Amino acid sequence: MRRLEYGTVTSTNRKRVVVAMSGGVDSSVAAARLVEQGYEVTGLFMRVGVEAPVEDDASSADGPAGRYKADGSRVRHGCWGASDAADARFVAGKLNIPFYAVEFKDEFDRIIEYFADEYSRGRTPNPCVVCNDRLKFGKLVEYADAIGADHIATGHYARIGMRNRQPVLMKAVDASKDQSYVLFGIERTVLERVLFPLGEMTKDEIREEALARGLPVHDKPDSVEICFVPDRDYARVVRRRRPESFAPGDVVDAAGNVLGRHDGLPHYTIGQRRGLGIATGKPIYVIRIDVATNTITVGDKRALLRRALLAERVKLLIDPPAKPFAAQAKIRYLHPAADATVTLLDDGRMHVVFDEPQTAITPGQACVVYDGDVVIGGGWIAEALGEP
């Protein structure tokens, strides 16, 4: 496919913008930058009813609530908890901007339901993509409309560019922090209203700027886990909502030989090696999860390789070529984009064939396709295809 040139969008027009403020350093600097650029900024914190375990709820006298324990040591927060709301409110006060905390508990609960449903169906969900789609670029847009705001903004690492006078979603300059993969679900019609003030920056630069601006969240640790599973016990969340999906079953090899037993499909994901409880004398991995037979199939690392995939519920952010086209495809957030040929099907699916076999293509994860730095679109992996 012919490589195109894209430019990034900047603006100093005094327009109204709603900034999703999570209480972290990224969204705080994003808000500060927009204020400095002359926007009329309103901060919005999304209350989702999730609290991370905190050992101590002490507050420091000269900083946001809940950032330190009584002994002065750091406290690690999840995202969107009460202490995060306090941090966001503190920063908004320092920036002298209006700030509101709005209840989105019911909407967020539906995301947790999706999470449990996917695991109960033998798929591995990606709730961050769904949260961005439904909340941060769904409900946030509705709120902006309600108050007459022109734009919405977040602290995501991504950029908005222009091609043929149309906005496009682009990777961030800092490849190690790029979040364009989890943003493919943004509605195309919303792109022209989105601002990503941090897309040209690195994390170190953002922390340095936060410190220079006197923002007390400059050294706040990043939230790295799924916010409603801070202990990483995914099965606990699923069991609470879908207990019937934890029926024991067989663990088999590719020939169907029974090697052991499992205690519920939601404990497993494609490519998993640890926690199988089976000794074979060599490393083995989960290569298939079959809900119909309630079995886990295991094999060696080579058995994880597949040449192609089929994705469903495809969303496009630019007009692609009508015929099969060359692109780069990511099958997981931390997976490097790989060269592939993409064919869009008439039923809202896409067929992706990789130049080189890929490891652990996982149903339930997103497949996002790129033209260089530009997001063409993406869809949800339905199945892996093609032996290596």
For the question of residue 79 being annotated catalytic, the response is no
Considering only 112-116, 225-229, 236-240, which range has the smallest mean pLDDT?
225-229
| 25-41: average pLDDT | 96
Tens-place pLDDT, residues 67-104: 433 333 343 445 656 788 999 999 999 999 999 999 88
Provide the pLDDT for residue 5.
35
Regarding beta strands 366-371 and 374-385, do their DSSP bridges make them parallel or antiparallel, or are they unpaired? antiparallel
pLDDT of residue 74: 41
The arithmetic mean of pLDDT across residues 226-247, rounded, is 89
Q: Tell me: the pLDDT tens digits for 242-286?
A: 999 999 999 999 999 999 999 999 999 999 998 888 888 888 999
Task: Write down the CATH superfamily of domain 304-385.
Answer: Translation factors (2.40.30.10)
Answer whether residue 160 shows pLDDT above 70: yes
Cβ proximity of 226 and 79 under 8 Å: no
What element of type H or E holds 309? strand 305-316
Q: What is the pLDDT of residue 83?
A: 85
pTM of the model: 0.86
pLDDT mean over 156-171: 94
pLDDT of 10: 46
Q: Is residue 185 helix, strand or coil? A: coil
* Section 41-65 average pLDDT: 59
pLDDT at residue 187 tops 80? yes
Give the tokens for residue 323: 């015929």
For position 117, what pLDDT does the model report? 95
Min mean pLDDT across 10-24, 96-110, 212-226 is at: 10-24
| Catalytic residue list contains 131 | yes
Domain extents for the chain?
Answer: 7-212, 247-299, 304-385
pLDDT at 62: 39
Number of residues written out for the chain: 388
pLDDT of 7 higher than 60: no
Give the residue-averaged pLDDT of 183-207.
95
Q: Return d(Cα 103, Cα 48) in angstroms, integer.
A: 6
pLDDT of amino acid 203 = 94
Give the pLDDT confidence score for residue 80 in this predicted structure: 58
Residues whose CB is less than 8 angstroms from the CB of residue 234 and which lie 6 or more positions away in sequence, other chains included: 119, 226, 266
CB 259 within 8 A of CB 298: yes
Summary mean pLDDT of the chain: 87
The pLDDT score that the predictor gives to residue 183 is 96
Looking at domain 247-299, does it have CATH number 2.30.30.280?
yes
Say what the pLDDT of residue 6 is: 35
3-class secondary structure, 193: helix
b/e code 21-53 from CB counts within 10 Å (16+ = b): bbbbbbbbbbbbbbbebebebbbbbbbbebbbe
Q: What is the pLDDT of residues 327-379, one digit of tens each?
A: 999 999 989 999 999 999 989 999 999 999 999 999 999 999 999 999 999 99
Alpha helices in 230-364 (DSSP H): 234-241
Q: Is the pLDDT of residue 229 over 50?
A: yes
Answer yes or no: is pLDDT of 14 > 90. Answer: no
More confident residue, 246 or 323: 246
**What's the CA gap between 195 and 9, in Å, rounded?**
8
Which stretch of 37-51, 100-114, 142-156 has the lowest confidence by average pLDDT? Answer: 37-51
Question: What distances in angstroms separate CA 298 from CA 136, 279, 384, one per listed residue?
Answer: 38, 12, 15
Residue 58 has pLDDT above 60, yes or no: no
Q: Which CATH superfamily is domain 7-212 in?
A: HUPs (3.40.50.620)
d(CA 103, CA 44): 10
Cβ count near 221 (within 10 Å): 12
Cβ contact 341:387 at 8 Å: no
Over the stretch 281-319, which tens digit does the pLDDT of each residue have?
888 999 999 999 999 999 999 999 999 999 999 999 999
Task: Evaluate whether 362 touches 269 at the Cβ level (below 8 Å).
Answer: yes
